[in-house]
Amino acid sequence: MGTLKKFFKDTIIYGLATVLPRLMNFVLVPLHTEKLNTSSYSDNTTFYIYAAFFNVLLTYGMETAFFRFFSKSEEKGKVFSTVFISLVVTTLLFLVPVVSYSTQLAALVNLDTNYFNLLVGVLALDALVVAPFAYLRATGRPIKFTAIKLSNIAVYVLLNFFFLWAIPKFGMSFSNYDSNDLVKYIFISNLTASITTLLLLSPYFFKTKLEFSIKIFKQLFSYGWPIMVAGLAYVINENFDKWLLPTVLGKDINGAYSGCYKIAVFMTIFIQAFRLGAEPFFFNYAKEKNAQKTYAVIMKYFVICGSLMMVGIVAYLNIFKELIVRDESYWVAIEIVPVVLLANLCLGIYFNLAIWYKLTDKTRFGMYISIIGAFITIVFNYLMIERIGFMASAWATLAAYASMMMISYTLGKKHYPVPYDVIKIGSYLGLAILLSAISYYRFNTNYYISTVIVLVFLGIIFISEKNEIKQLLKK
């Protein structure tokens, strides 16, 4: 239990590095949806779709590979420097042709050339800080990690408010300020925040002697490239809908869909916080004799917290809707939220289950599973969007992540069996789905009944887990 308490403590600290930035981003959603029409918001979404895609390409699985080999290597400094040097070199190799042909490439991806150039800058800077950030996590420095992450988001948020709100509000005059192209200033804010992060992490570039090991690089790349492919598939699962919807249903629908999708941000925050704390913990704890049992307990509490979050958000969805997406023109897509919440919870369970192929160095299975998910996403969207509209994209996301979750669990039982309490986990998940459906479809505007539903679910969890929770808190 002491180990679990440490895990939860580190996860909470890492969670701050995720929760607070996401909450600050959450503050930006009302600003963006108020200042940008649905079509412009669609452009903003497209920018970050490409950012996510190329970010995976530029890091090619090196972050996870770093954790794997750093935790077990006796030459930790050499592992870090090899990862760092390889990322610097590949980033430079990326920049030369992309900058040279920026106009043509911008047209290819259907982005304004100025937007594209800002995108390239953000991508390069973010790739350069992957190794230092991973080093902070692997060496157990969550507070410093969190402080730098918060500095990044603080710069980003403050500049967003300065460009989109303060300048028009107070009538400030700037010769190059274009009030008809506010989206551009969101991207400029991002680039400035990335520069700030690079400067703050620059001391860690030379924490160890810089030496490149071809042997270590081959091991890292062999481990990491399937993770890269899996990451690309994940980007497809997350963003293919927002890439296809403008073409099929128009930018306005895509903007509304993307705006309402943001309401599921709390589930995304929870999953990201869990991953930041769990990934290094799982690798470092793998040699302990009771590792599998510990992983099983972590999974159970992950599902409990995620299920409770889903029930709570659905119960008060109208409140969240008015707080986060204030422009009513976006609300046409509000019905996607319960489905997207469940889809993301399934994704979180999959991330938890994925430890089996990471610990057994069988990352190619993660690649296969993610490719299956991407295939489901692509086919479902292409076949169903014209038939049932934007809801097809939400259901496609759920189908993809639920399938990945079930496939990973089935394979994990064979290759790295973990004694998950499937009955309890399934019961909590099933009950959460039932209560969320009752709350949304029957008592959508009755907050008294919705509150009772949340309390009932919370009470069932407490009664079922009170002995273990008390034991954990005593340690």
List pLDDT tens digits, range 297-324.
888 888 998 999 999 999 999 888 888 8
The count of C-alpha atoms lying within 13 angstroms of the C-alpha of 248, restricted to the half-sphere facing its C-beta, is 18
Q: Is the pLDDT of residue 285 over 60?
A: yes
326-364 core/surface letters (b: 16 or more CB in 10 A; e: else): ebeebbbbbebbbbbbbbbbbbbbbbbbbbbbbbeebbb
pTM for the whole thing?
Answer: 0.73
The pLDDT value given to residue 4: 55
Mean residue pLDDT across the chain: 85
Q: Are 472 and 301 in contact (CB under 8 A)?
A: no
What does the alpha-carbon distance between residue 319 and residue 27 come to, in Å, rounded to a whole number? Answer: 15
Cα separations in angstroms, 353 against 266, 305, 308, 417: 21, 16, 20, 10
Angle 251-261/38-59 helices, nearest 10 degrees?
70
What does the alpha-carbon distance between residue 4 and residue 351 come to, in Å, rounded to a whole number? Answer: 18
What does the alpha-carbon distance between residue 441 and residue 446 come to, in Å, rounded to a whole number? Answer: 11
**DSSP 3-state assignment of 298?**
helix
What does the alpha-carbon distance between residue 280 and residue 133 come to, in Å, rounded to a whole number? Answer: 12
List pLDDT tens digits, range 102-145.
999 888 887 888 889 999 999 999 999 988 888 887 777 777 88
Tokens representing 218 are 């081959």
Band (406; pLDDT cuts 50, 70, 90)? very high
CA 4 to chain centre: 24
The pLDDT value given to residue 14: 59
Q: Considering the chain, what percentage of its residues have pLDDT values greater than 70?
A: 90
Q: Is the pLDDT of residue 79 over 90?
A: no
Q: Is the pLDDT of residue 401 over 90?
A: yes
The one-character DSSP state at 124 is H
The pLDDT value given to residue 469: 67
Tokens representing 342 are 């469940």
Which parts of 262-290 fold into alpha helices (H)? 265-285
Q: Averaged over 180-195, what is the pLDDT?
A: 91
What does the alpha-carbon distance between residue 367 and residue 175 come to, in Å, rounded to a whole number? Answer: 50
What does the alpha-carbon distance between residue 99 and residue 83 come to, in Å, rounded to a whole number? Answer: 24
The pLDDT value given to residue 235: 86
